């Protein structure tokens, strides 16, 4: 299924984020030992570096366009695969991170603020991103009436919506579509060469206050829900309209 998603966009991302209440350890031995365990499972992850604010990253070579990465930030552990060959190709890395974090980073159930599973897509388009988003997603909505005004044109069409997916509101879904067109860019069409329209769909799970949070079990449930909603809701109602409009505009 992952490969079919890749056929709908220029780049497909499958990411997992564990957001913590407390700052993560940043001692040299702890950080290196954690990433060493990741590398033992995925030997091709050989690029290690430190970013600003004591954030650390281990990743594969990016030149092929398909690569793994894991980062430790101040209060977030992130894991992802760019253009994975299958969902399981990414999930096995994410599960390893979850399994290691209690023992190597001292992250237990009390420390977890939330867990995110994110499916994201990039759509390359060198024209006006806001026009594409407006035409694909807003043409049949009330917002479209504003574009009937004289000289009106879309310049800030980057919708983001969060919905509760459980009675207790602890399971949430977030869909966002982002434009990279700037109103200050020259050109009548707002050209944005080498930029992409981005779509991101996240299932976030907050721990319950009445029972011990099982991050690995939650991750599995979130993955199943994300796959289901991507197939039933996101692809037909967001992805396909965007790709159809992009194709039409390229043919004009």
CATH code (residue 245): 3.30.160.110
**pTM value surpassing 0.75:** yes
What is the average pLDDT score of the chain? 92
Instruction: Tell me the mean pLDDT in the region 210-223.
Output: 97
Give the chain's domain count: 1
* pLDDT surpassing 50 at residue 186: no
Q: What's the confidence (pLDDT) of residue 108?
A: 95
Q: Is 23 helix (H, G, I), strand (E, B) or coil?
A: coil
Instruction: Tell me the mean pLDDT in the region 136-159.
Output: 87
Residue 151 pLDDT grade (very low, low, confident, very high; cuts 50, 70, 90): confident
CB atoms within 10 A of CB 144: 14
pLDDT tens-digit series, residues 114-133: 999 999 999 999 889 999 99
Rounded Cα gap, residues 164 and 159, in angstroms: 17
pLDDT tens-digit series, residues 187-207: 444 454 458 999 999 999 999
For residue 16, what are the domain limits?
A: 2-251
Q: What's the confidence (pLDDT) of residue 184?
A: 56
Burial group, residue 161, by CB count within 10 angstroms (0-12, 13-18, 19+): exposed
């Amino acid at each position: 299924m992952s490969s079919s998603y890749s056929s709908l966009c220029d780049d497909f991302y499958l990411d997992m984020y564990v957001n913590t209440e407390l700052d993560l350890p940043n001692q040299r031995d702890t950080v290196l030992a954690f990433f060493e365990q990741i590398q033992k499972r995925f030997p091709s992850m050989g690029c290690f570096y430190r970013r600003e604010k004591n954030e650390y990253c281990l990743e594969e070579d990016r030149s092929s366009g398909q690569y793994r990465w894991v980062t430790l930030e101040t209060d977030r552990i992130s894991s992802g695969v760019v253009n994975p060959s299958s969902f399981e190709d990414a999930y096995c890395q994410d599960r390893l991170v979850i399994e290691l974090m209690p023992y190597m980073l001292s992250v237990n159930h009390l420390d977890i603020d939330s867990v995110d599973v994110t499916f994201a897509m990039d759509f390359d388009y060198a024209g006006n991103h806001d026009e594409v988003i407006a035409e694909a997603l807003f043409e049949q909505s009330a917002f479209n009436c504003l574009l009937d005004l004289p000289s009106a044109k879309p310049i800030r069409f980057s919708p983001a919506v969060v919905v509760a997916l459980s009675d207790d509101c602890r399971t949430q879904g977030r869909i966002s579509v982002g434009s990279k067109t700037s109103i200050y860019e020259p050109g009548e069409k707002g050209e944005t060469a080498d930029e992409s329209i981005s779509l991101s769909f996240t299932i976030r799970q907050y721990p319950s206050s009445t029972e011990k949070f099982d991050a690995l079990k939650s991750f599995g449930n979130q993955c199943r829900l994300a796959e289901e909603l991507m197939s039933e809701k996101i692809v037909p109602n967001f992805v396909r309209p965007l790709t159809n409009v992009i194709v039409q505009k390229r043919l004009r």
